[in-house]
Amino acid sequence: MGTITTTDGTEIYYKDWGSGQPVVFSHGWPLSADDWDAQMLFFLQHGYRVIAHDRRGHGRSSQPGDGHDMDHYADDLAALTAQLDLTDAIHVGHSTGGGEVVRYLARHGESRVAKAAIISAVPPLMVKTETNPGGLPKEVFDGFQAQLAANRSQFYRDVPAGPFYGFNRPGAEPSEAIIHNWWRQGMMGGAKAHYDGIVAFSQTDFTEDLKKITVPVLVMHGDDDQIVPYADSAPLSAKLLQNATLKTYAGFPHGMPTTQAETINADLLAFLRA
């Protein structure tokens, strides 16, 4: 187990396995580094150094009362990469973690980074606005906060059992182990961090961040994503990025790194080796 302490005193937990070119994973809301188990073991076996941290207020990291916004998330990631003195790194972010990676690259530069991949990611902007008419109404995210505040444990059962992995689709075969592991990771974190994090992932506009990024970026998204709808995310991000490859997966859900790990891992490996 490793930890770093950020400038505002927050303790960030991380895993760091193996040697070789570093692959750094940023997890989704409200999970932890454990959500990357299938990827970390795979890339470790293929000769990479794999690193994943628990975002502030999530997992085993400390639970400060504030700082639950994309700037702090990006700064914490920068502090970790500096502490480990990573170079030629590949950053992979899922969902909210995709936003974290984008903000990190735009805010802290690309001097330590070779490539990035964003999977089922929240950029450019999730919430509906005048300039983002295809987004989801703010009331959707207000509802998330209300459910979290009313009964976080039940909410964290309902999300993975339903839309996150597409287990609510006709003919789907829900995995009790996957549902429980999502619940376990979520309940490890702090309610305040997760409550504020809903605003962070839904209302942060990454448009200008995406335009600044020059390293190659693989944009991966399932067209049956019920959490971050495909049409208002991946294709728009790919257009804004200077050096993007868009890969669309027919019928894949939001949580495809878990349920479709074999496909996702193979495509990520091909991108890393290209």
Q: Is 95 a catalytic residue?
A: yes
Taking each helix axis from N to C end, the angle separating 138-161 and 176-188, rounded to the nearest 10 degrees, works out to: 130
CA distance 264 to 198: 26
Q: Is 233 a catalytic residue?
A: no
Taking each helix axis from N to C end, the angle separating 70-83 and 96-108, rounded to the nearest 10 degrees, works out to: 70
144-151, long-range: CB within 8 Å, 24+ apart, which pairs? Answer: 144/198, 145/195, 145/198, 145/199, 148/191, 148/194, 148/195, 148/198, 149/191, 149/195
Give the helix ranges, DSSP H, for the chain: 37-45, 70-83, 96-108, 138-161, 176-188, 191-203, 207-212, 234-240, 256-259, 261-273
Task: Calculate the alpha carbon distances from 21 to 5, 69, 94, 176, 198 in Å.
Answer: 24, 29, 20, 35, 33
Q: Is 153 a catalytic residue?
A: no
DSSP notation for 160-189: HHTTTTTTTSTT----HHHHHHHHHHHHHS
Q: Which of 27, 58, 194, 254 is catalytic?
A: 254
Q: Which of 95, 120, 202, 237 is catalytic?
A: 95
Q: Which of 34, 54, 76, 225 is catalytic?
A: 225
CA distance 210 to 66: 26
- Which helix (H) or strand (E) segment holds residue 50: the answer is strand 49-53
Position 211, amino acid: K
- Which residues have a catalytic role annotated? 95, 225, 254
